[in-house]
Amino acid sequence: MNRRRRALLSVTDKTRLGELARALAGRGYELVASGGTAAALRDEGLAVREVSELTGFPEIFGGRIKTLHPLVFGGILGPDETSLAQAAGLGVLPFDVVVVNLYDFAAAVDAGADEAAAIEKIDIGGPSLLRAAAKNHARVCVLPDPAFYDDFLEALAGDAGFPDLEFRRNMAAATFAVTADYDAAIADWFVGGHACCDDPDHDHDHDHDHEQILGIELRYGENPHQKAELMLPGEDTEDPLIGMGLRQLGGKELSFNNLVDVVAAVKLVDDLEVGGRVACAAIKHTNPCGVGLGATAAAALARALLGDPDAAFGGVFAFTGEVDADAAAELHARFCEVVVAPAFTEEAQDLLGRKKNLRLLTLDREAFRAATWGQVRIFGDVQLHQDEDEGFPELESWRHVAGPAPDAGTADALRLLWRVCKHVKSNAVVLGDAAGTLGVGAGQMSRVDSARLAVRKAADRELALAGCACASDAFFPFPDGLEELHAAGVRAVVAPAGSIRDADVIAAAERLGVTLMHTDRRHFRH
């Protein structure tokens, strides 16, 4: 590319704006900015071109329209250098980096803004710029929040002076999450404060028959169009999560999905036997992307990320021990939704607290266990209740049915993976060793496909599976899954008995020289 790179900046939150802009200018980028952002950059002594100068069209209606212009969006959405060359005849100049954050609508509403003031805080141009840049991440890098500046500046300092495609794709994902949350907050405000709420069909109040139950309205459910409420023991409206053994130290309010993943993450690490070590689980959509054990939180985190760090992007991280500065530095460099641990060192809390969207939670394990025991699924007026899938007594009576007898290290690996496997969506197959997971196959409709997925996850990271162990949450209905695992290097497996073809699977394990341990309990997770 022989043209000059260009960055578009239009921000409400001007945190570290000067630092970012100076770095861009230092790498030869031309800076283009909307009015208020341009003024802030000039105050920093930087040369900047205003959007209105680029378009030849002034900001109008008191700033309601600043950037909504084809010369701006053409420069963002032009898919490649060829199309940009064609657009040059129209005066369209390409943008390579788009730095935008949005009017703080939620803060205005929380501060008591009336309807007219709140509507003025509904950003139109900002989300449009963000979505356009995220859509065209093949060519454009978008930065929707100052929390991402550190990672971007590191990429900017590289030889290319521009982030690679993986980084741009991650920023696109983060951007669409930002705009979805923003739109959901606006939709909630309209629903919560306008005439539709007088309609009994929109009445989502719940009658709680016990005065000690607290109901907290959440921003939305699994998706922005779904209303949601958290109901939990207690009366402390200032710190309601105490009712489930959690205390929030910082970051945005927890969403429905955050809470579901936090419960999944804490229940997983709570099931592990750590033996004086620290355990870490990285959770996404309630499934573990990876689990690791280590002498420190940082070591456990590194091991948890070994198998599938890409899947852990935007995930929830749970620890059984105190999060220290080294672990915090690694978490700070990643996009995480939530970090939950019994405690954080002062340095770790200070570092992670700089990410204003990152939720930090401390955990009282005994209170959490008491509040979250048992499982309920609700379908309208129908409720399904079941006991907690609690404990692992089957590990006291597991049986060696094929292959070499497991040595102590292999037995430790099988026990760890069996405990992890319980927390993976069925059909579940987990590969690893005594220090953690190497590949997780989750949620496939056939067990052999889960085995293949677990192997592929490890292969994608070029992780050696020779001699590793495996856990399966239910029996192998055919020998094919075991054969796939053996071909990948697996040499020890723990799985429940119960298939009508158990004898065939045992014979295959004996023929292949695979250690096979049978349990009398399965751990389906639907």
So what's the pLDDT on residue 35? Answer: 85
So what's the pLDDT on residue 200? Answer: 37
So what's the pLDDT on residue 368? Answer: 87
End-to-end CA distance of the chain: 51
Question: Model pTM?
Answer: 0.63
Burial code (b: 16+ CB inside 10 Å, e: under 16) for 490-505 equals bbbbbbbbebeebeeb
Reported as a single tens digit per residue, the pLDDT across 155-190 is 999 988 999 999 999 999 999 999 998 898 888 888
Alpha helices for 333-446 (secondary structure H): 346-352, 365-372, 408-421
Pairing of strands 359-363, 336-341: parallel
- Residue 245 in tokens: 């053994």
Listed as ranges, residues in the chain with pLDDT below 50 are 194-211
So what's the pLDDT on residue 203? Answer: 39
Residue with tokens 């927890």: 254
Rounded to 5 degrees, φ, ψ at 296 are -130, 170
Alpha helices for 395-493 (secondary structure H): 408-421, 447-460, 480-488
Strand partners, 339: 317, 360
- Residue 495 in tokens: 């799985």
Reported as a single tens digit per residue, the pLDDT across 398-435 is 999 999 999 999 999 999 999 999 999 888 999 999 99
Q: In Å, how far from its chain's centre is CA 252?
A: 14
Burial code (b: 16+ CB inside 10 Å, e: under 16) for 256-273 equals bbbbbbbbbbbbbbbbbe
How far, in Å, CA of 357 to CA of 9, rounded? 21
* Domains recognised in the chain with CATH numbers: 6-192 (3.40.50.1380), 215-372 (3.40.140.20), 393-519 (3.40.140.20)
So what's the pLDDT on residue 300? Answer: 97
Residues belonging to the active site: 135, 285
So what's the pLDDT on residue 241? Answer: 83
- Please tell me the total number of residues recorded for the chain in this structure: 526
So what's the pLDDT on residue 67? Answer: 65
Distances in Å between the alpha carbon of 340 and those of 80, 265, 280?
A: 42, 9, 10
Sequence-distant (≥ 6) Cβ neighbours of residue 255 within 8 angstroms: 181, 218, 219, 220
So what's the pLDDT on residue 213? Answer: 65
Sequence-distant (≥ 6) Cβ neighbours of residue 143 within 8 angstroms: 20, 97, 98, 99, 100, 149, 152, 171
Q: Where are the beta strands (DSSP E) in 350-398?
A: 359-363, 375-379, 382-386
- Say if residues 327 and 296 touch (Cβ distance below 8 Å): yes
So what's the pLDDT on residue 209? Answer: 39
By 3-state DSSP, what share of the chain in percent is helix, strand and coil, each rounded to 5? 40, 20, 40
Q: What element of type H or E holds 40?
A: helix 35-43
Distances in Å between the alpha carbon of 404 and those of 434, 485, 512, 514?
A: 18, 16, 10, 7
Residue of 286, 360, 272 whose CA lies nearest to 320: 272
- Residue 192 in tokens: 């919560």
